[in-house]
Amino acid sequence: MESFLKAHSRYANRYNNIAQKVLNFKSPNQVITEYFMNQKA
């Protein structure tokens, strides 16, 4: 079970840092960061 969690963590980290066409060539992490920066303003 521990190896599964470790592998899933690596996959999620990699996936969230890869730019995607549907997000206008931004990574999911970049989209979330921009969203929260705009909410504070």
pLDDT, tens digit, for every residue of 1-41? 999 999 999 999 999 999 999 999 999 999 999 999 999 75
Quick one: pLDDT at residue 40? 77
pTM of the predicted model, to two decimals? 0.74
Rg, Å, the chain Cα set: 13
Would you give the distance in Å from CA 16 to the centre of its chain? Answer: 3
Contacts of residue 39, defined as CB under 8 A and 6 or more positions apart, other chains included, come to none
CB distance 27 to 19 below 8 Å? yes
Quick one: pLDDT at residue 41? 59
Contacts of residue 31, defined as CB under 8 A and 6 or more positions apart, other chains included, come to 23
Q: Which residue has the tokens 């504070």?
A: 40
